[in-house]
Amino acid sequence: TWSDEQTRFFLQLRLDENLKGNIRKQMVNEAGRQAIVDKFYEAFGIKIPWRKFGIKYNTCKKQYESFKKLTRNRTGLGFDSTGFINMSEDWWNERCKEWPGARKFKDKPVANMDLMEKVFGTVYISGGEGWSAQQGEDVLDTKHSEHDDEIDGEDDAESRRDIPTEEAVGSKNVGPSSSRSKVNKKRSRAVQAGQAVADVIRESVESRDKILSHKNHLIENHPEFSCSELRAMEVLHSLPAIRMWSPLYKASINHVKQDAANRQTFLFYGDDENRVLYLEYATGESRDA
């Protein structure tokens, strides 16, 4: 079961990977997937396979779509700090009459709607790509995997073909043997052409991965990213001396969220003990409280 905090952390990770260029058309590449899995593990100590992240993504998307159904074409709506509807009892009663499904949102508001708006609010996939948004990310992953399998299969089939030797070709030059020689030559050229294409694809993939890796390194070292709220929260989570939801932990969250200067100062200290001492000094709270 995912907590609201874990869900929010995951959604923020997706936004960060999108900023890095690791998400295209709502499909996360290998570098982005690995980063999300690793950072989630660092923050919560839970190793989750990527498939479960995909399931969570689809669940959040369904919640968001239901929420938009509730708010579509409504004016004068009020929202709280998390992006959820803050309206009167009469307003909710009217919505429940129009759509019984609205009651579940009234009785149990969906958390993190502000981040869901950022993740899902601008999603658009054209029908020509053979995928609809309702199908979710797992379908995209499946299509991508199937395409890769087809390429690998063709390459394997080509590599298993026999390549005729020059002696074999030269020794048979008349009648049916000549026809077989021509077929073998064509087959040999096809194999060579296929291998050349495979080499180009392999080099392109390697080059792309190097570029992405360098780009990610530059982004992660940029002040706006290296001192982001997410980065500060990751480090805060990793401090064993601070109990989660203790007074110091809560005060530290508010402190690092307040402004970038606080986060820069906090992250400046290179070891855990000095970071804890800084937070105690800055917040006035004690780790022993």
Label residue 273 exposed, middle or buried (CB < 10 Å: 0-12, 13-18, 19+).
exposed
> pLDDT class for 225, splitting at 50, 70, 90?
low
Say whether pLDDT at 249 is over 80. yes
pLDDT beyond 60 at 166: no
In this predicted structure, the answer to whether residue 177 has a pLDDT above a threshold of 80 is no
Question: Pick from 229, 1, 15, 228: which is nearest to 116 by CA?
Answer: 15
Going by pLDDT thresholds of 50, 70 and 90, the confidence category of residue 21 is very high
pTM: 0.43
| pLDDT for residue 15 is more than 50 | yes
> What is the Cα–Cα distance from 289 to 284, expressed in whole angstroms?
11
Q: Does an H or E element contain 27, and which?
A: strand 27-28
pLDDT at residue 226, as a whole number = 61
Cβ neighbours around 286 below 10 Å, total: 10
pLDDT tens-place string over residues 127-144: 333 333 344 444 434 433
High-pLDDT (> 90) share of the chain, %: 28
